[in-house]
């Protein structure tokens, strides 16, 4: 699946933004689904396993319909390994583990570090240049996260308590994994392969990586919670995961990994909205201040290169 849009054009930027909004609205719901599932009694590691397996099966069925299959090349295998292990097995497990122990809106907020980390990695491997404006954006984004983590330690009014902070720190593993995955998706994309085939390969690898994690944890689970009580979250999350992977590759093709990663900022707002709608969470002044800093970081990190170029590297 590739849209007939030429990368780098105005149309490509508009389409990429529309796809990112779609991803933000849908994927941010997964964070709340994580909480619903785990509080319903579904162990988090099997929960991650079944939703990834469901997404992989869905994409394989679609690949069968279009008569394409995941490529098996050097770049493809590297992409499957990195994204499958870090972007799904490790990141999803961290988010699902933190979900019942910290507010969904705060967990959503941690994902806003992903664009900053993507840019740092892109500079380190020379996929992008270091600009002063983007460095300030990194500092602003980190300040936003500190606005969430520090208040509970100072016994200030916050959605968090001191006991929740370690779980928020665990959730920070996810943006690190997503950043590495975004870079890998651009750098190791198999030549000539469609988004759907590559996504099916990544999700298949993710399922395989989850098996030893589940065996080590000893938390095998097979739909022991009724569909109405929480098992439905696995089906919904599987559909969202499949959609996310396909659209992720398309946005990266059209606009690059740094631009794609900024969908996390939109996703943060949507995640806070879902948390408010589903759990009645009310963001405090600290959360809004953190969001303000994070969006300042978004603007600075993503200033047009022609503007940043005036500052010099």
- State both tokens at 255: 């606009």
- Report which of 273, 261, 254 is spatially closest to residue 297, judged by C-alpha positions: 261
Contact 144, 293 (CB under 8 A): yes
More confident residue, 32 or 169: 169
With a cut of 90, say whether residue 61 has pLDDT above it: yes
Confidence of residue 182 (pLDDT cuts 50, 70, 90): confident
Which tens digit of pLDDT belongs to each residue from 240-262?
989 988 988 888 888 788 778 77
With a cut of 60, say whether residue 310 has pLDDT above it: no
- CA–CA dist 74, 217 (Å, integer): 31
Residue 1 neighbours by CB distance under 10 Å: 16
Q: How far is CA 302 from the centre of its chain?
A: 18
Confidence of residue 89 (pLDDT cuts 50, 70, 90): confident
With a cut of 60, say whether residue 158 has pLDDT above it: no
- CA–CA dist 36, 16 (Å, integer): 31
- CA–CA dist 139, 260 (Å, integer): 20
More confident residue, 105 or 184: 184
pLDDT of 309 reads: 40
Q: Averaged over 255-271, what is the pLDDT?
A: 74
More confident residue, 258 or 303: 258
pLDDT of 307 reads: 43
Confidence of residue 13 (pLDDT cuts 50, 70, 90): confident
More confident residue, 249 or 280: 249
Strand runs labelled E in 197-307: none
pLDDT of 242 reads: 92
Q: Averaged over 24-30, what is the pLDDT?
A: 79
More confident residue, 111 or 49: 49
- CA–CA dist 265, 2 (Å, integer): 25
- State both tokens at 85: 């292990």
Mean pLDDT value across the chain:
79
Confidence of residue 308 (pLDDT cuts 50, 70, 90): very low
Kindly give the interhelix angle for 10-39 and 44-66, rounded to the nearest 10 degrees: 140
Contact 160, 102 (CB under 8 A): yes
More confident residue, 199 or 190: 199
pLDDT of 221 reads: 82
More confident residue, 234 or 7: 234
pLDDT of 267 reads: 72
With a cut of 80, say whether residue 80 has pLDDT above it: yes
pLDDT of 39 reads: 80
With a cut of 90, say whether residue 53 has pLDDT above it: yes
């Amino acid at each position: 699946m590739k849209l007939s849009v030429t990368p780098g054009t105005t149309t490509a930027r508009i389409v990429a933004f529309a796809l990112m909004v779609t991803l933000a609205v849908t994927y941010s719901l997964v964070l709340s689904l994580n909480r619903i599932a785990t509080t319903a009694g579904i162990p988090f590691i099997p929960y991650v396993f079944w939703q990834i397996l469901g997404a992989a099966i869905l994409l394989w069925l679609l690949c069968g319909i279009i008569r394409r299959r995941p490529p098996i090349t050097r770049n493809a295998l590297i992409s499957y390994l990195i994204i499958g292990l870090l972007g799904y097995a490790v990141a999803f497990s961290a988010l699902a583990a933190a979900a019942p122990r910290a507010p969904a809106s705060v967990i959503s907020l941690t994902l806003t570090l992903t664009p900053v980390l993507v840019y740092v990695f892109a500079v380190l491997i020379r996929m992008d240049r270091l600009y002063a404006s983007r460095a300030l954006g990194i500092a602003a984004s980190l300040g936003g996260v500190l606005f969430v983590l520090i208040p509970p330690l100072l016994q200030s009014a916050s959605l968090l308590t001191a006991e929740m902070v370690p779980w928020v720190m665990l959730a920070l593993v996810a943006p690190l994994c997503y950043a590495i995955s975004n870079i890998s998706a651009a750098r190791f994309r198999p030549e000539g392969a469609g988004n759907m085939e590559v996504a099916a390969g990544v999700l298949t690898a993710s399922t395989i990586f989850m098996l030893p994690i589940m065996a080590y944890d000893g938390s095998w689970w097979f739909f022991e919670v009724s569909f109405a009580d929480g098992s439905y979250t696995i089906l919904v999350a599987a559909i969202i995961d499949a959609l996310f992977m396909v659209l992720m590759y398309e946005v990266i093709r059209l606009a690059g990994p740094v631009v794609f990663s900024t969908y996390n900022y939109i996703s943060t707002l949507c995640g806070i909205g879902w948390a408010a709608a589903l759990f009645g969470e009310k963001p405090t002044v600290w959360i809004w201040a953190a969001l303000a800093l994070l969006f300042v970081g978004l603007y600075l990190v993503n200033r047009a290169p022609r503007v940043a170029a005036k500052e010099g590297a």
